[in-house]
Amino acid sequence: MLNLIPIFANKAYTLLYMARHNDIGKWGENLAREFYITQGYAIMDNNTHIGHKEIDIIATKGNQIIFCEVKTRSHPITDPTEVITEKKIKQIVRAADSFIESRDIKQEARFDIIFIVGTPETKHTLEHLPDAFIPPLNNK
């Protein structure tokens, strides 16, 4: 019976950590949306689920439709490839392709990444990488 206490405590810690992690992620996505709006973008949708994939922000500006991945961390990001992998890029592109096809969108697609470092309780930085990547030709 004593073995259940550490397991339960570990699960409780994991649940608290995940709740905090999700809250920071939502906070970061809100900052990113506010950033886009102040820069003259129109937010078309956010947290869009397409099958098992999700696009954080879909925005438009001029003749472009922008698919944005938002990455929020409480600690500095030293290497963007540690948070945006090739697999993640392919998932974003597949979801964007499905979104474009399902709505017969004719606008030019662009893929942005917004990195936010900080927490709601601390100062934060926001780095916007427009046209962060070009969709791979083989997206399977």
What does the block give as tokens for 82?
């540690």
Q: Is the Cβ–Cβ distance between 110 and 68 less than 8 Å?
A: no
pLDDT band at 75 (very low <50, low <70, confident <90, very high): confident
Classify residue 101 by burial, with Cβ atoms within 10 Å: 0-12, 13-18, 19+: exposed
Q: What is the dihedral of CA 25, 30, 35, 41, to 10 degrees?
A: 120
Helix, strand or coil for residue 63? Answer: coil
pLDDT class of 136 with cuts at 50, 70, 90: confident
Burial of 125 (0-12, 13-18, 19+ CB in 10 A): exposed
Rounded CA separation 28/46 (Å): 12
Q: Please report the domains of the chain, with CATH numbers, ordered by start residue.
A: 4-129 (3.40.1350.10)
This prediction has a pTM of 0.82
Please report, to the nearest 10 degrees, the dihedral formed by the alpha carbons of residues 97, 114, 65, 103 taken in order: 40
What is the chain's alpha carbon radius of gyration, rounded to the nearest angstrom? 17
Q: Which residue did the predictor score with more confidence, 117 or 3? A: 117
Please give the Cα distance from 129 to 46 (Å, whole number). 18
- 1-5, 31-35, 50-54, 135-139 — which one is most confidently predicted on average? 31-35
